[in-house]
Structure 1
């Protein structure tokens, strides 16, 4: 199976494939340098498209190949003119885009499948935390200590679920960052698209930029842990307010 991609930049000023430039009638131009030896192994062909667009075709990438990089020998080959050099560089740029998309799919899908039950676990733990707190509205005064114990257990479970989620979300954020650095935002393959291809809905998932997950040196709350701690702090603040209003000076 082949893959194609269209860029809205011609390979040369004429809009023709750089490997098949024309020579004015009646003039013998120098023989064109053979650029095929520099082609990426997956490269099939490039064809002029509408306007100044050019369509590049490659055999499918697995994402496990080495990152496509323009061969250094290209820059040392004095037989190549400027248009040919740019054509080769553009070919490798396109190859890198397709390769990076394939690599994202290859690496992200297993992580996405691991992440799905962890997000479900967080949602369940968060629901329990919310419900246990709301139960105070119906809890008799004599039962508040027992309900506080239930709330404490719910807080621990929610924080544990948040930490587990952030660990896998950090991996997904890193994979996305690697992909974007290779293709630029113009050709980014959204993680949500990769997930939908394997039947996973990530609409509700919390995945921030890779910088939000720390490097193990600084002690910071990762995104979902921060959200959970903030909600817990708000709940505890409400309970302290009730204790103050009731004249109960024991800590909550």
Structure 2
């Protein structure tokens, strides 16, 4: 997830989340003559830049100003925040208590918007207040954005846990039946098969039926999983990673296509992103066509 950061001239201390007790007196106001040299540098645009903040800039915060920013933010920090720390080069990182995915989506608290010390201040009217308040808005915005990213992933995983069910068992059943089908089909190419051709074909048909049934069973779970993936389209976790967190570490091997494919009753030949049932049907059709051709050419009934 892309994030916006504020480069710091001085690192944060190791106390983690700021508390109201750490508040210090507001820094002295700078004379108007100093505002032209306010420490701005080219970087990523801020989330909320204010009327006087030019595009393509990011704030550099000094020690006293940074402490004042957190003194004002402290009453509004969410309860799931565990720690704020500096990034290796600049900006801030956030550590949260684990989300279950069943909480409400993280949002900026209304108290933050209602706080008169955090409302917009024009740079021309008060450069120091403009700097502090803009930094506070940016930090809160980045914090909530980071929290939403983790919450979205947790919600994705929670919804997958609710639908996965016995999908791992059904996939293993499909793999086992497919392996048996491949063995039955390969056997037809051996000289021994010619001695028992009808029986060998019968075993092939049985294997085809079992594989098709296993494919249908897995598709029932796969469709539910695919719909959850669609619902969490903007989560950062990939499908396999989300399923792994949901208790299915081998799900990267599963054949799951987009949810809309499972309701289709017809597939064009060029469409390769098809449900497992359709993929198996195509395999069986290829095998049947081959057996029929062998029968025509060899005189064996096929």
TM-score by length of 1: 0.72
In 2, Cα distance between equivalents of 1:86 and 1:15: 18
CA shift at 1:121, angstroms?
Answer: 0.3
Q: Could you say which residue in structure 2 is the equivalent of 1:117?
A: 169
Give matches, 1:66-81, under 5 Å.
66-71=104-109, 79-80=119-120, 81=133
Q: Could you say which residue in structure 2 is the equivalent of 1:201?
A: 250
Q: In the alignment, is residue 223 of structure 1 matched against residue 275 of structure 2?
A: yes
Q: How many residues matched?
A: 235
Q: Could you say which residue in structure 2 is the equivalent of 1:161?
A: 214
In 2, Cα distance between equivalents of 1:196 and 1:68: 21
Q: For the structure 1 residues 86 and 220, does the alpha-carbon distance in structure 2 shift closer, same or farther, using more than 3 Å as the test?
A: farther
Q: In the alignment, is residue 237 of structure 1 matched against residue 262 of structure 2?
A: no
**Unaligned segments of structure 2, at least 5 residues:** 13-17, 32-64, 121-132, 268-273
CA contact (8 A) 1:176 1:191 kept: no
Q: Could you say which residue in structure 2 is the equivalent of 1:41?
A: 79
CA shift at 1:112, angstroms?
Answer: 4.9
CA shift at 1:232, angstroms?
Answer: 1.1
- Out of 75, 93, 99, the position equivalent to 1:61 is 99
CA contact (8 A) 2:81 2:96 kept: yes
**Unaligned segments of structure 1, at least 5 residues:** 1-5
CA shift at 1:25, angstroms?
Answer: 4.9
CA shift at 1:211, angstroms?
Answer: 4.2
CA contact (8 A) 1:62 1:106 kept: yes
In 2, Cα distance between equivalents of 1:62 and 1:69: 16
Q: Could you say which residue in structure 1 is the equivalent of 2:183?
A: 131
CA shift at 1:241, angstroms?
Answer: 1.2
Q: Secondary structure at the match of 2:254?
A: coil
Greater displacement, 162-171 / 197-206 = 197-206
CA contact (8 A) 1:7 1:53 kept: no
Q: Secondary structure at the match of 2:82?
A: strand
Q: Secondary structure at the match of 1:181?
A: coil
Q: For the structure 1 residues 182 and 110, does the alpha-carbon distance in structure 2 shift closer, same or farther, using more than 3 Å as the test?
A: closer
Q: In the alignment, is residue 147 of structure 1 matched against residue 190 of structure 2?
A: no
In 2, Cα distance between equivalents of 1:182 and 1:196: 13
Q: Between Structure 1 and Structure 2, whose CA radius of gyration is higher?
A: 2
Q: For the structure 1 residues 174 and 197, does the alpha-carbon distance in structure 2 shift closer, same or farther, using more than 3 Å as the test?
A: closer
TM-score by length of 2: 0.61
- Out of 153, 174, 183, the position equivalent to 1:101 is 153
CA contact (8 A) 1:166 1:225 kept: yes
